[in-house]
Structure 1
Amino acid sequence: MAQPLRLRHRTEVLVNADAQRLFEHLDDPRRLSAHMGKPSAMMAGAAMALTTDAGGGRSIGSVYRLHGKVLGLNLDVSSRVEERAPPLRKTWHTVGEPRLLVVGRYRMGFDIAPLERGCRLGVFIEYAWPESRPWLGRIFGAAYARWCTRRMAIDARAAFP
């Protein structure tokens, strides 16, 4: 039986853009997952590739996939867009059981709160430990969730100096 998504992390930043411009930027999964496409210490020096369906990850029901090899293991996760409310919110969740190392199934998203100048961006993840290696999730899951939401938020802020 699949674990409920009881583990959570959220990162908030201020962004120097109006809500519409920020949403359009973040609506593209290539931008949100850019940190996964570059080798990094958190990815053990590896990177993952992104593929999307015809909807490009920009419509409800659209599916996209991250896949690659980390530490000699094939990783693969597909996500489906579940909510898209421009210019304020978007969420997506894993489809099936992902093949990941330190997190299992997850639901992610972002919300945008317009301010007098710019807006506040919140990026969140709700996740379970991986079914196949829950001990890795217990050790590294929180650090990975923090890194991932932080990278997405900081990359978005950097796009609007």
Structure 2
Amino acid sequence: MQLTFDALRGQAVGSHISMSGRVLGVPLFVEEIVSDRSPPLSKVWETIGETRLLVIGHYRMGFELTPSVAGCQLRIFIDYAKPKGWLSWCLGRLLARYYARWCLQRMKNDAIDHFSQKR
């Protein structure tokens, strides 16, 4: 996937990020906008415009950190729609739940790696 950032680099509300590439020869494209950001405690981003994805359609995802006695508590989420088109809809029925879990697992692992380096 090729990532393209605007001047705000995905680090401010209103910032745009686009991703494009191919999977098994099928062109993919998605554009996101940062809709909420309160560093370092939360960030939410969501798709805008026409998406071209295989397994999920439009989505909204993000994270929230809540300080706790032992460090912090991480909540990550993804809300997604089924994709359009019969092939994508079929793939979505089979794989969307697994793909969403994979996305959340990656976000969790990235957070663990990021905060482990801070110690």
TM-score, length basis structure 2: 0.90
Which shifted more, 117-126 or 51-60? 117-126
Whether 1:134 and 2:93 are equivalent positions in the alignment is: no
Q: Which residue of 1 aligns with 2:102?
A: 147
Task: Output the CA distance in 2 between the equivalents of 1:49 and 1:148.
Answer: 17
Whether 1:105 and 2:105 are equivalent positions in the alignment is: no
How far 1:158 moved relative to its partner?
2.2
Aligned residues: 114
- Please point out which of 69, 73, 77 is paired with 2:22: 69
Task: Output the CA distance in 2 between the equivalents of 1:63 and 1:138.
Answer: 29
SS in 1 for 2:7: coil
RMSD: 1.1
Whether 1:91 and 2:91 are equivalent positions in the alignment is: no
Q: Is the 8 A contact 1:66 1:77 kept in 2?
A: yes
Greater strand fraction, Structure 1 or Structure 2: 2
| Cα deviation digits, residues 93-136 of structure 1 (max 9, x gap) | 10112101000000011110111232111221000111122111
| Cα deviation digits, residues 71-114 of structure 1 (max 9, x gap) | 10111101001111223211111011210100000001111011
Runs of 4+ in 1 over 2 A off after TM superposition: 158-161
**Where do 5+ consecutive residues of structure 1 fail to align?**
1-47
Task: Output the CA distance in 2 between the equivalents of 1:159 and 1:95.
Answer: 28
- Please point out which of 32, 43, 52 is paired with 2:5: 52
| Cα deviation digits, residues 6-56 of structure 1 (max 9, x gap) | xxxxxxxxxxxxxxxxxxxxxxxxxxxxxxxxxxxxxxxxxx121100010
| Cα deviation digits, residues 55-80 of structure 1 (max 9, x gap) | 10011110001111101011110100
Q: Identity percentage over the alignment?
A: 49
